[in-house]
């Protein structure tokens, strides 16, 4: 009986340590994605000579993609065993938005 308790304790301890470490990586990954999206939107606005209706529509599309990336639940990242790399989590449209080769 005591051996069973020790085994269960070790399993719980190992899972706790895993989720503690994974949580730090997930936080960094979400911050990286958010920062990259912010930079893309800021660069787009900074590159405009004149604020036109077409430019604002284009910016709204960029913001929609940004919001779709940020809508991925934190818990989904945390409780998954997939690597924390954009190509495993994002759609083609989202990857194109991030210009993944510059990531």
Task: List the domain boundaries for the chain.
Answer: 2-102
Q: In the predicted model, what is the mean pLDDT of the chain?
A: 93
CB 40 within 8 A of CB 65: no
Averaged pLDDT, 89-100:
89
**pTM greater than the 0.95 cutoff:** no
CB 68 within 8 A of CB 94: yes
pLDDT tens digits along 41-78: 999 988 888 889 999 999 999 999 999 999 999 999 99
pLDDT category at 101 given cuts 50, 70, 90 is very low
pLDDT tens digits along 8-17: 999 999 999 9
- Per DSSP, the residues of the chain read -HHHHHHHHHHHHHHHHHHHHHHHHHHHHHHHHHHHHHHHHHHHHHT-SS--HHHHHHHHHHHHHHHHHHTS-HHHHHT--S-S-HHHHS-HHHHHHHTGGG-
């Amino acid at each position: 009986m005591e051996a069973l308790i020790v085994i269960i304790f070790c399993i719980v301890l190992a899972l706790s340590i895993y989720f503690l470490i994974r949580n730090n990586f997930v936080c960094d990954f979400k911050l990286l994605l958010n920062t990259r999206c912010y930079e893309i939107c800021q660069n787009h606005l900074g590159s405009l000579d004149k604020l036109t209706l077409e430019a604002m529509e284009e910016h709204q599309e960029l913001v929609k993609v940004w919001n779709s990336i940020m809508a991925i639940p934190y818990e989904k990242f945390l409780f998954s065993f997939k690597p924390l790399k954009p190509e495993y989590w994002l759609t083609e449209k989202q990857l194109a938005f991030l210009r993944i080769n510059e990531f």
